[in-house]
Amino acid sequence: MNTRACYDLIVVGGGIAGYHTAFSARDADPGMKILVISAETTPTYSAPSLPDYVSGHIPREKVFVAREEEFEAQRIELRLNQRVTSADPEAKTLTTEKGEVLAYRRLVLATGSVPIQLRRMPGTSLPGNHVLRTVADAEALASAPAKRAVVVGTGAIGLEGASALRERGVEEVTLVEALEWINPKCFDRRASDYMTAELERIGVRVLLGEGIVSVEGNDRVSGVRTAKRAIPCDLVLWGIGMRPVVDLAVSMGAALGEHGGIRIDAQMRTSLPDVYAVGDCTEPYDLFYRKNMPNMLWRTATEQGMLLGSLLGGGQAEDYEGAKLLFLTYVGDAPACACGYPESALKGQRYTVLEDCGPGSYRKVLLQRRRIVGFQMVNTLEGANELYAQMLKGEPVELAAGLERDPVRFPLKSVALSAYLARMERVRPTE
């Protein structure tokens, strides 16, 4: 097959970034001919909801953002289970694995990300090794007849996956992290201690500071071995991170960023003419870190897709102001939130730390030159919206003077932000 079909817009990737790009373009231009081509077998789904499906909290149908009928109703052609094998940016064509040639006027790469897997580690190819990225992954995990599970990594997948497996009925769940505390890119040690306590409360055993060196088993997984011990298990869930899918972009000659994602500007343009990129495969500018970096968050992909789709459909050419690295997950029913810099990233600099260490909840705010540069919360979200808004403003805050410290939980919404911060203990005034 070598039929040449022509489209005003082709979106490669059917995740949330690709979905919003296509539907926003349709809203802006009812006459545009649009194709979304996806290697996945299902239409757009909510990746953040997959742990809830594994746990049994939601049925399978609640995972999906859109059905095939919705694409059809919007006159957006959707091709599932099809891969693009090559592209020619000069001829403005793509070639599918079936040999079909597709011509485009403008192309959007929304190729997403995939879980990092340690293929060279012994035992990682055995049945019983799982990841959690797609609906098929979630179905396999939910149906696995496991009594003992090991979850590797403490990002969102590791934390939520461990909780989900316990709720699913897995009798023994062990969470293993090679670093010294939980998700050190976002949280500091004391926040990790609170999360560890929550995990142990719901029956998850937590092992920090020891990485997996091998997966044991003959025909299928029977255990893992760390540098310190052997842990029997029937199932291993890998949650050690994600990597951007950039193979097609690289084959086309698109420039990559410092961390291996596709380099884009404020209008999601790549280094190639009429080729754009959105979502997990990109390295957008981050407003809090003030540099381009990966941001594999649902909100970022949604914002990028909606803005780009409108632009490509003829809407006003607005710049994307930047991503905001806000990490929010749940450990059982307890929220854990982090935004901006952790204290570990500020070593060697002048900064101030404010903390509120309650009996079951924790809050921490970091300031530089009276500006909030990061905050962390465990088992509470009190004040999170206000702190986030203040970080976006980038303006200095004042601590209210003369306020008595009240041991009762502080009602943030009834007072000014400065008073909220004043009620927190200044534990390390280093500036």
Looking at the domain that runs over 117-238, which CATH code has it been given?
3.50.50.60
CB 89, CB 272: distance < 8 Å: yes
CB 186, CB 328: distance < 8 Å: no
CB 122, CB 214: distance < 8 Å: yes
Q: Give one DSSP letter per residue of 212-269, joined into a string.
A: EEEEE-SSS--EEEESS-EEE-SEEEE-S-EEE--HHHHHHT--B-TTSSEE--TT-B
Strands of the sheet containing 425-429, edge to edge, are 326-331, 334-340, 371-378, 362-368, 352-357, 425-429
Tell which residue, 56, 206, 42, 214, has the closest CA to residue 129. Answer: 214
Round to whole Å and give the CA distance between 115 and 137. Answer: 11
Per-residue tokens: 354: 């404010």
The DSSP secondary-structure symbol of 45 reads B
Round to whole Å and give the CA distance between 229 and 139. Answer: 30
Per-residue tokens: 367: 């300031």
156-168 helix and 135-143 helix, angle to the nearest 10 degrees: 40
User: Which helix (H) or strand (E) is 139 found in, with range?
Assistant: helix 135-143
Round to whole Å and give the CA distance between 153 and 176. Answer: 6
State whether residue 76 is helix, strand or coil: strand
User: Which helix (H) or strand (E) is 304 found in, with range?
Assistant: helix 298-312
Which residue type does 233 have? C
Residue 117: how many CB atoms within 10 A of its CB? 15
Round to whole Å and give the CA distance between 278 and 301. Answer: 6
The gap from C-alpha 347 to its chain's centroid, in whole angstroms, comes to 26
Per-residue tokens: 146: 């496991």
- The residues, any chain, with a CB within 8 Å of residue 31's CB and separated by 6 or more, are none
Tell which residue, 315, 177, 328, has the closest CA to residue 239. Answer: 177
**4-113+243-312 CATH pick, 3.40.50.300, 3.50.50.60, 3.40.50.620, 3.40.190.10:** 3.50.50.60
CB 84, CB 99: distance < 8 Å: no
The gap from C-alpha 170 to its chain's centroid, in whole angstroms, comes to 25
Q: CATH 3.50.50.60 occupies which residues in the chain?
A: 4-113+243-312, 117-238
pLDDT at residue number 399: 61
CB 350, CB 430: distance < 8 Å: yes
What is the phi/psi pair of residue 120, to 5°?
-85, -10
Q: Give one DSSP letter per residue of 342-406, joined into a string.
A: -GGGGTTS--EEEEEE-SS-EEEEEEETTEEEEEEEES--TTHHHHHHHHHHT----PPTTPPP-
Residue 31: how many CB atoms within 10 A of its CB? 8
State whether residue 418 is helix, strand or coil: helix
- Block mean pLDDT (10 aa), the chain, length 431: 81 97 96 97 95 95 95 97 96 94 97 90 95 96 96 95 96 96 94 96 96 95 96 96 97 96 96 97 94 93 96 87 91 93 90 87 90 94 91 80 34 46 59 61
CB 87, CB 248: distance < 8 Å: yes
Sequence-separated contacts (24+) of 204-208 with Cβ below 8 Å: 204/162, 204/163, 204/166, 204/173, 204/174, 204/175, 205/172, 205/173, 205/174, 205/175, 206/174, 206/175, 206/177, 206/182, 207/174, 207/175, 207/176, 207/177, 208/177, 208/179, 208/180, 208/181, 208/182
